[in-house]
Structures are given as structure tokens and as C-alpha cells.
């Protein structure tokens, strides 16, 4: 199948000023898009929870890539489940409807690994998405995002609307969110180790018991997969984006401590939640459907992320 020609296309990237969004825009331009025809929405001047803003944002666009999300780690998911459900559902569902009404040619929705059931067989296959309820701490966020898959499937069925749904695994990389109240595990750990070193502390507290496993996708790889799908994937079935490699939280912390030369003791706070027991994706569909495989090795990606934080911690 011929790839969608991006030259001269008007492309809206919601969340385009964010950590992943900037990489997606770079990859779009490398794939032939005109940077001056790419529009980026920012939450402070285009709140997508407001219907009229979604109508304005979708107006005259050929392609929409929806990255914008209200998202964070376990702490934020426990603290603000209602906000995470409402904000993500309203942004996505209104923007999809506005895109359909305005005749947008293609809608690329970036979902979340949190949509998978708590006890999904590993590696997670796309067809297991509905095999149970998500892990409780992130279910409100995961279900809100999963509802957008149902919307896209039904709009394709009734209206012939070309919407695709991607499921990237946990992302990391330079320019990630290092805010301790809302960051995900890798930036949170890097910051913790850095601050322990600055203060001369020899004990590092870590949530849970270290047993859960996670898979991580470097931000440039995620952006590459999103752009490849934008160009070459036109089916209703959701598609995983990942590396197919899992690492335990215990091994992850050990590796970060090694790369950052921290030789203190890790203290496991077993009264804190572990989150989902295992996460690792089956990535065969993305490879078969549009030739995507991750390029950046985990150790290399972690080192780049650590170096960026150390240069920008102030």
C-alpha cells in the first residue's frame, strides 16, 4: 500500500509542544511534512475539554495526531482519578467528533498501555485489550482512553471515518516530565538518585517491592512509530508500539544507580502500591502492518535521559 504523502498536508498535533510532541513534529518533517503547515495546540490557549475549541482546532485540518493527555504516575492516578477520567475522555471524544464533522482525512489517536487488563498474559497482544478490568490505580485514565478506540471503530463503521488507535508502552527520554508529583517511573527515579547524590544521602526510598516488570520505549522511537502509522496504517484494530523487552523495577533501579554511579542502599517501601504486575507488549503487528521496530537500545536511551537531566536539573 502506498504511504500517505505528507507534503502540503495541514496537520494538527495536539500536545505537540510536549515531550513526545516535539519528537513527532521532527519525524513528520523528516517524512516530508511542511513545518509551517503543522499546528500545535497548547492547553493554556486551547482547552480541548471545551467543544468550541475542538471545532476551531479541527477546522481546515487534513490530519490530526492526538497526543494531548492529562497523565502521570501512580501518585497522580491515586490522587486525581476523576480529573484523569473526565479530562482525557472529553478532550478525545469531542476532538474526534469535530474531526469527523469537519471532514478531516485521518485521525491518529495515541492511547495508553494502561488500557490493558490488570492480568493480561505477557506479552500483551492487541486482542487481549478487552479481556478484563485495568489495574485499579490507573483504570480511570486507561478506560477513558480506551473509550476513544470504541468511538473510532464506530465512526469508521457508520461514517467511513479513517481513525487509527496506537498503544505505546511507557515512554522515556530527554525532556521528559521530571516533576515529582506527576512524573513516571524513569524520570522519577533519575531525579531521586540525583537529589540523593547532591545531598550526600546513602539511602534511596522506592515504592513497592521491585517485582513488577515494565517495558519502555524511547521517545524518538515512539514518534517514529506514530508517524509511520500516520502514513501507512488505515485499519480499525489497535496497534502496540514497543520494544518487546521487559525489565523489573528492581533491575531498572539497579541499572539507573549504576549509570549514575550511586552506591547507596535501595529501601523498598512495601506499603506503597506496585501497580500492574507485568507489562510487556507483543510488537509483531506494528512490524507487519507498517514496518516499525524500535531503534534505540535501553541502556543508551537511559544514559541520554540521565545526561539531559543532569544538564538541565537547575
For the annotated binding site, the residues are: 15-21, 145, 168-171, 184, 192, 207, 214
What is the separation, in whole angstroms, between the first and last Cα of the chain? 48
State the SS3 of 148-192: HHHHHHHHHHHHCCCEEEEEECEEECCCCCCCCCCCCHHHHHHHH
Name the catalytic one among 86, 100, 133, 141: 141
- Mark whether 141 is an active-site residue: yes
Cα–chain-centroid distance for residue 32? 24
Distance CA 264, CA 287 (A): 41
Q: Kindly report the backbone phi and psi dihedral angles of residue 245, in degrees, each rounded to the nearest multiple of 5, phi listed first.
A: -120, 130
From the DSSP assignment, how many helices (H) and strands (E) are in the chain? 10, 12
Annotated binding site for substrate: 192, 207, 214
Element (H, E) at 67: none
Nearest alpha carbon to residue 227 among 7, 30, 19? 30
Let me know: does 228 contact 311? Beta carbons within 8 Å. no
Dihedral (C-alpha) 39, 44, 49, 50: value to the nearest 10 degrees?
A: -80
- Phi/psi at 163 (5° precision): -120, 135
CA angle (205, 112, 218) in 5-degree steps: 65
Neighbours of 304 (CB within 10 A): 17
Q: Which residues are annotated as a binding site for NADP(+)?
A: 15-21, 145, 168-171, 184
Do 156 and 96 touch, CB atoms closer than 8 A? no
How many angstroms separate the CA atoms of 188 and 176, rounded?
10
Give the active site residues.
141
Amino acid at each position: 500500500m502506498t504511504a500517505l504523502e505528507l507534503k502540503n498536508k495541514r496537520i494538527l498535533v495536539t500536545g505537540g509542544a510536549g515531550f513526545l510532541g516535539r519528537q513527532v513534529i521532527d519525524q513528520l518533517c523528516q517524512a516530508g511534512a511542511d513545518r509551517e503547515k503543522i499546528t500545535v495546540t497548547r492547553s493554556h490557549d486551547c482547552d480541548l475539554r471545551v467543544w468550541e475549541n475542538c471545532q476551531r482546532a479541527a477546522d481546515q485540518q487534513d490530519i490530526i495526531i492526538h497526543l494531548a493527555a492529562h497523565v502521570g504516575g501512580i501518585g497522580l492516578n491515586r490522587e486525581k482519578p476523576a480529573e484523569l477520567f473526565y479530562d482525557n475522555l472529553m478532550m478525545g471524544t469531542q476532538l474526534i467528533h469535530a474531526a469527523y464533522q469537519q471532514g478531516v482525512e485521518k485521525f491518529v489517536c495515541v492511547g495508553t498501555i494502561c488500557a490493558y487488563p490488570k492480568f493480561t498474559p505477557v506479552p500483551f497482544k492487541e486482542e487481549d485489550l478487552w479481556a478484563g478490568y485495568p489495574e485499579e490505580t490507573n483504570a480511570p485514565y486507561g478506560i477513558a482512553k480506551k473509550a476513544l478506540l470504541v468511538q473510532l471503530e464506530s465512526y469508521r463503521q457508520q461514517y467511513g471515518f479513517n481513525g487509527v488507535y496506537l498503544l505505546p508502552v511507557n515512554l522515556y527520554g530527554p525532556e521528559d516530565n521530571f516533576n515529582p508529583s506527576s512524573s513516571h517511573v524513569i524520570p522519577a527515579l533519575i531525579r531521586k538518585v540525583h537529589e540523593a547524590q547532591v545531598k550526600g544521602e546513602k539511602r534511596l526510598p522506592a515504592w513497592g517491592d521491585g517485582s513488577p516488570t515494565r517495558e519502555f520505549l524511547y521517545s524518538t522511537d515512539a514518534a517514529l512509530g506514530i508517524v509511520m502509522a500516520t502514513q501507512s496504517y488505515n485499519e480499525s484494530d489497535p496497534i502496540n508500539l514497543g520494544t518487546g523487552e521487559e525489565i523489573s523495577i528492581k533491575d531498572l533501579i539497579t541499572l539507573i544507580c549504576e549509570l549514575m554511579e550511586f552506591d547507596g542502599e535501595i529501601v523498598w517501601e512495601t506499603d506503597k502500591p506496585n501497580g500492574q504486575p507485568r507489562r510487556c507488549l507483543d510488537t509483531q503487528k506494528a512490524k507487519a502492518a507498517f514496518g516499525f521496530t524500535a531503534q534505540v537500545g535501553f541502556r543508551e536511551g537511559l544514559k541520554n535521559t540521565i545526561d539531559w537531566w543532569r544538564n538541565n536539573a537547575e
